[in-house]
Structure 1
Amino acid sequence: MNRRTIVIGSLVLGAAAFAGGAWQVARRREAAQTAAVAETLQAQPDALVRPHSPILGSADAPVTLVEFFDPSCEACRAFHPAVSRLLRDHPEQLRVVLRYAPFHQGSDEAVRILEAARMQDRFVPVLDALLDQQPRWAAHGAPRLDWAWQVAGEAGLDLAKAGSDRLHPAITAVLNQDMADVEVLQIRGTPTFFLNGERLTDLSIEKLRAAVTDAVNAQ
């Protein structure tokens, strides 16, 4: 074995050890955050689901999936069909509670569009349309909110009424409360899911589907 081989082998082993150590640190940090959030929810259980929160599915379903989402978030768009499929698969057993986490520029306006749509009983079609057409309006750093409004109009929103409703105090209150809960619950990215009050970690669409299916089957 020559010196070059020894050096390369040492570097590979060092990199592997560093990666393993970083993974363990990340896992410990994640576990500490999960424990802190659980403690917060014991003290402030209403921080997870508010009376104003939109509910998809059966309101009295035994399994509750809470999603903190951003209308401009690509990952939220990717998860949306899976969440919709779960609702179709478990129409009586599952309810999805949506919470707003408008981290991206312009997302607060998209939330106002959604809440104005809710006032017109057009929440789901406008939500579906905004997420489906997200690449059209949600360019990061330069969102085209005029296009977002156009997309909502194409989904059946009365734009004239919504334009006057968008600054309604109730909509502003929803935004303020959800952002306050985002801070309290240490939501740092979207989507973030809670299943029956427990935060889901190491998330993928497949793991979300499995977790919800297990929770439904446990009823």
Structure 2
Amino acid sequence: MNKQLLIASSLLLFAALYFGGSYLYQKSNASVSSDKQSALVRSNAFVLGNPDAKTTIVEFFDPACETCKSFYPFVKNILKQHPDKLKLVLRYAPFHTDSYYVVAMIEAARLQNKYLEALEVIYKYQDKWASHTGTPNIGLIWSFLPEAGIDVEQLKNDMKKPEIDAIIKQDIADTKTLGIRATPEFFVNAKPLVKFGKIELQALIDSEL
């Protein structure tokens, strides 16, 4: 009787592993539904890499997110390894307190052709201005921006432009459409990164190249 019970238990475990693995495989190969595809890439989003590349990475990020800061050089290095085959579309998901304001800084810097310079200097000093337990000190960022060659006074004026507010609000709306609740969130050719991690992201990108 015990032997029969053991065999039955083994069969149940095998079935659970099989169907669970099958589900994860199908999910990992599933793309965002067609009605949500437009929420992935907007024409005004910043693109890094070859704009005509067939493989598209979409990243929703928050400049106050420590993990986003960690992934930035990793993804940038992957782009460097495949300069003609990849493009990265950067989208905003300002979930942390006051991140909306920081995102507006980055978008305004874009008008000075300093998008990446602003993003990188903001990441560089993230541990000084961002806070994950209390209130962030956004005001400190102003003193860091000149290091990136940014005209701070012009940036302050440009941040007030309604088109910048519209871009950020659209990105926030798209995070809701796509069900994004944490950052960074990655999609490769509209396929979501199911299991989060650098190795998993590399594998998903490699499978699409």
Q: TM-score range by the shorter chain?
A: 0.7 to 0.9
Aligned to 2:36: 44
Write the letter of the residue equivalent to 2:137: R
Aligned to 2:156: 163
- SS at 1:66's partner residue? strand
- SS at 2:166's partner residue? helix
Aligned to 1:195: 188
- SS at 1:38's partner residue? coil
Cα drift, residue 210 of structure 1: 2.5
Q: Distance in 1 between matches of 2:208 and 2:42?
A: 22
Cα drift, residue 62 of structure 1: 1.1
Higher relative contact order (CA 8 A, sep 6+): 2
**What's the TM-score once normalised by structure 1's chain length?**
0.80
**What's the TM-score once normalised by structure 2's chain length?**
0.83
Q: Distance in 1 between matches of 2:143 and 2:121?
A: 10
**1:54-93 maps to which residues of 2 (within 5 A)?**
54-93=46-85
Cα drift, residue 152 of structure 1: 2.0
Write the letter of the residue equivalent to 1:130: I
Query: What are structure 1's unaligned runs of at least 5 residues?
Result: 1-19
Aligned to 1:121: 113
Alignment check: 8 A CA contact 2:36 2:177 kept: no
- SS at 1:150's partner residue? helix
Cα drift, residue 154 of structure 1: 1.6
- % of aligned pairs identical? 39
Q: Distance in 2 between matches of 1:38 and 1:88?
A: 26
Q: Distance in 2 between matches of 1:154 and 1:125?
A: 9
Alignment check: 8 A CA contact 1:113 1:152 kept: no
Aligned length: 188
Among 160, 175, 183, the alignment partner of 2:176 is: 183
